[in-house]
Amino acid sequence: MPSPSAPRRLDADTRRAQLLEAAQALFIERGFEGVGMNDVAHALGTSRPTVYAYFTSTEAMLRALLDARLPALWQRLRPLLDTGTGLAALDYAAIFTALLHERDLLLLMHSGGGPTFREERARFLDELAALLAPYRPEHAARHDGALRIVTLLLEAVAVESLRHPGATPGDVDDTLAAFIAGGLAALRRAPA
């Protein structure tokens, strides 16, 4: 029987979750490229071999984090899009708020700049655009970049709001919604 002061051995799922949480915090704090496997081990007070027993690289940790967290975002966004209205009439304030609820995910996706991050962020933006695509008005469809601009704007404003809080969320929500609606209305008047 182990002594009361002996460290308790964690089950594999608990240890894996701890490693991912530590990695996520370090990626957000230091930037993905500034974190190595040794840093994750040190943050948990464990050894590098323990970290390598669960993950082969920091890229594998990143993918595991995104695979675990992105489904929650999509699940949060889908009901907001099931309105039967067009892109101009969507509730961008609610979509923006849903993005803000996934704080760590958004900050994680902006914690690096290398090829892995560019690929994962592009995949995220493509999935967000695919969710919004059915609501694109016909006049916006004539302008190839309209949907991409809306997705980039939503994501960028959410990330900046998380990094630099200050304005009240309602002010940002209303301004963002008006900006998107105005831009889509302008496309209606613009030649294709």
pLDDT profile of the chain (192 residues), mean per 10: 57 93 95 95 95 95 91 86 67 82 88 83 85 68 71 84 71 78 73 58
pTM over 0.85: no
Q: Which pLDDT belongs to residue 120?
A: 84
Token pair belonging to 109? 């996706």
Q: Which pLDDT belongs to residue 81?
A: 78
Correct CATH for 12-189 of 3.40.630.30, 3.30.420.240, 1.10.10.10, 1.10.357.10: 1.10.357.10
**Helix, strand, coil in percent for the chain, rounding step 5:** 75, 0, 25
DSSP of 79-129, one letter per residue? HHHTTS--GGGS-HHHHHHHHHHTHHHHHHHTS--SHHHHHHHHHHHHHHH
**What's the DSSP call for residue 137?**
-
157 and 99 Cβ atoms separated by less than 8 Å: no
Closest CA to 162 of 106, 122, 111, 119: 106
Q: Which pLDDT belongs to residue 141?
A: 57
158: part of which helix (H) or strand (E)?
Answer: helix 146-163
d(CA 31, CA 191): 43
Q: Which pLDDT belongs to residue 30?
A: 94
